[in-house]
Amino acid sequence: MMRRPALFRFLAIPLVTLGLLGGTGHAENGGRAIAVVVAAGDSWNGIRGGMSKRLLAQIYRKQVVLDDKGIRLHPVNLPASHPLRAIFSQAVFRRSPLDMAGYWNEQYFQGISPPHVVASQEAVMRFVADTPGAIGYVAACRVDKRVRVIYRLEVKKKLADSLCR
C-alpha cells in the first residue's frame, strides 16, 4: 500500500468529511471558487459547447489536447504539495495529486507528459497570460485583468479564504 504524504492526509480528510468541497459550476450561496482561467485576450470560448468538470478532467489528463479551433491546449498545474492543487485534484478527479502520479507514470511510457507545473498562483497567471492555449486554475480572489475565468469550482468560504491569504 502506498503511503500518502502528510499534507494530503492533513487536507483530504477534513475536506471530505467536513464537506468543504462544494459542487461544480458557479459559486453561490456565499461560497467562493477556484477559477479556471485562460488569457484575457484569448478567443477561447469552449470545446463542444462549453466547459464542464468532465471536460476539465479530460484536458488535465491530456485526453483532449485541441480546442474547437485546433489550438493546442496547455494545462498548467501547481506543485503537488500546494494546497490548491490538492483541492483542485479532489474536486476534478476525486483523487489526490499523489494518486494521479500513477496515472502519469503510465502515460509517460506512452509518450504523454503531465501538465506543466509552476511554483505559485502568480506563476499560473503569468503562464496563462503569456502562453497561447494555456489553461490554469487559481483561487478566485487572485484573478486579475491578465486572465479570463471560463469555469468555477465552488468551495466553501472558510476554505477559499485560506487560499487568499
- pTM of the predicted model, to two decimals? 0.80
Residue 96, phi then psi, degrees to nearest 5: -80, 165
Quote the pLDDT of residue 23: 41
pLDDT in tens, 60-114: 999 999 988 889 999 999 999 999 999 999 999 999 999 999 999 999 999 999 9
Residue 50, phi then psi, degrees to nearest 5: 125, 170
pLDDT in tens, 9-26: 444 433 433 334 444 444
CA 125 to CA 31: how far, in whole Å?
22
Quote the pLDDT of residue 15: 41
CA 58 to CA 48: how far, in whole Å?
13
Domain 6-163 has CATH 3.30.9.10: no
% residues pLDDT > 90 (the chain) = 62
pLDDT confidence tier of residue 57, bands split at 50, 70 and 90: very high
Quote the pLDDT of residue 92: 96
The residue ranges of every structural domain in the chain are: 6-163
Quote the pLDDT of residue 141: 92
CA 67 to CA 56: how far, in whole Å?
12
Query: What DSSP designation does 152 have?
Result: E
